[in-house]
Amino acid sequence: MKKILRSLSLLICLVLMFSALPISAQTMQIQHGVPWRNAGVSNSSAPAGAHLSYFGGPVVSNAHVIQVLYGMGSYNLQVAGSSNPTMGHFFSDLLGTHSGYIDLLRQYSTDISGGTNQIIGNGTFDGLFQIIPSAANNGSTIHDSNIQAELLAQINAGHLPGAVLDAAGNVNTIYMIYFPPGKTITDQVNKISCVTGGICGYHGTTSNTLNSKHLLYGAIPDLAGPGCSTGCGASSVFGNYTSVTSHELSESITDADVGLHLSLPPGAPMAWYDANHGEVGDICNLQQGSYTANGTTYTIQLEFSNAANNCVLPPPAATTVPPNPVLSTNTNQVSSGQSVTLSWTAEPTATSYEVFETFCTSTSCAPPQPNPFLIGTESATTTSLQVLITRSALFQVKACNSVGCDTGSEMVGVTVVGSPTL
């Protein structure tokens, strides 16, 4: 009997220890949605130590958003596209060049060691579509497996456009799916919408493929309904919609294939993630702010910036081109077949850099030289480039943003031993 009691006591202790752990530690699940939060509970900054690490997966190069209304119902008028500004306006304004939203996310481009060589750029809104789901996928509670199956079926039937790919074959299209009143959604790990401990929305990746590609989607319930109206933001109904949408859109762009890796520890094919705090939006969950894009002010969620080490709003849209960077090289004379490193100053308003080369003539290597050609487009976080030298040449770097590119740095030359000197 004593042995049984000791075993029972040990079991009770283990249960109590396990129940005291945070939910994420109990389930060991990847965070990829907007957690429901009690009204009045608010954070004003990122948690200490927050930082997004890269795990080798793809991002979205240029988002093409397709908005989907999932069946019939009394949708919010702005979500339904019948009152301005519409959700379509929101997507167009936020993703376009008259917004700094993409400038904020561009720091998570993957043109880095071990990366997929993608630069996050501006996107587009590709239209609003309303579908009639099959009865099997349209109950009062709609599970993620129903959503995935219906999305693939609607595309196969020609009722929704297929996915757009970038030049390397990565998926650019994000299907943002909105649900009418009376529908409860559950995500891939069975978290329920609009309840304590549940979700206000989530994003995912289809388990099955279409034309050999896993598709990207977001799912957002009726935010005016019970539960979500008090636990999904402190703004207006449409303001909470745009806030939750911006959270899921940012995470879809910066961690596209999270739906294929749902258990901790994080790893490929995930992209940017913090093992303790989640994705770019999770770190700043429901921290709302006002942001003006293309002349219209919206409520959006702050997103985490590795560069700022905090939750921030996007910068204002650029109105002028960046200043000219200063270019230098680690050497100005090499043997043919050797490499040099070009380095340039970072310009705060630049979103990319263009690197040009022009070959010297047989008699002169003095600037200017004719016919410069583009040899590289680098992200805003890149300020150097290694170049193989086979002929004497001059180099120039231009800093660019949504307005355009500057006139370029002063030209810097590298000569091959025995060739015309500068």
Q: pLDDT tens digit string along 89-119?
A: 999 999 999 999 999 999 999 999 999 999 9
Taking domain 327-416, whether its CATH number is 3.40.50.300 is answered by no
Distant-in-sequence contacts of 46-49, Cβ < 8 A, 24+ apart: 46/277, 46/283, 46/284, 46/304, 46/309, 46/310, 46/311, 47/276, 47/277, 47/283, 49/276
Q: What is the mean pLDDT of residues 150-164?
A: 98
**What was the pLDDT predicted at 42?**
57
Average pLDDT over residues 6-17: 44
What mean pLDDT comes out for the span 320-334?
94
Does the structure show a pLDDT above 90 at 154? yes
Six-digit token string for 113:
């060691």
pLDDT digits (tens, 9 = 90+) for 221-277: 999 998 999 999 999 999 999 999 999 999 999 999 999 999 999 999 999 999 999
pLDDT-derived band at 38 (thresholds 50, 70, 90) equals low
* Residue 402: predicted pLDDT: 83
pLDDT tens-digit profile of 366-402? Answer: 776 677 899 998 888 889 999 999 989 999 999 998 8
Residue 4: is its pLDDT beyond 60?
Answer: no
Q: Is 44 within 8 Å of 216 (Cβ atoms)?
A: no
| Region label for 337, one of left (φ > 0), alpha (ψ between -120 and 50) or beta (otherwise) | left
Q: What is the pLDDT of residue 363?
A: 66
Could you tell me if 248 and 220 are in contact, meaning their C-beta atoms sit under 8 angstroms apart? Answer: yes
CA distance 27 to 38: 21
Of 5-14, 223-232, 282-291, 370-379, minimum mean pLDDT range: 5-14
Distance separating alpha carbons of residues 367 and 347, to the nearest angstrom? 24
Element (H, E) at 144: helix 144-156
Q: How far apart are CA 411 and CA 394, in angstroms?
A: 6
CB-CB neighbours of 168 under 10 Å? 10
Determine how many CB atoms are found less than 10 A away from the CB of residue 421. 14
pLDDT of residue 23: 36
Element (H, E) at 10: helix 2-20
pLDDT of residue 28: 62
Q: CA separation (Å) from 289 to 12, 29, 243, 302, 331?
A: 45, 29, 9, 7, 48
Whether residue 421 has pLDDT greater than 60: no
| One-letter amino acid of 101 | Y
Mean pLDDT of 130-159: 98
As a whole number, mean pLDDT of residues 41-51 equals 83
Which residues lie below 8 Å from residue 410, measured CB to CB, with a gap of 6+? 324, 326, 327, 367, 396
Q: Where are the chain's structural domains?
A: 28-312, 327-416
Give the pLDDT of residue 379. Answer: 84
**44: alpha, beta or left? (left if phi > 0; alpha if psi -120 to 50):** alpha
pLDDT band for 43, please (50, 70, 90 cuts). low
Q: Which residue has the tokens 């308003």?
A: 349
Please measure the distance between the N-terminal and C-terminal CA atoms of the chain and give it in whole angstroms: 94
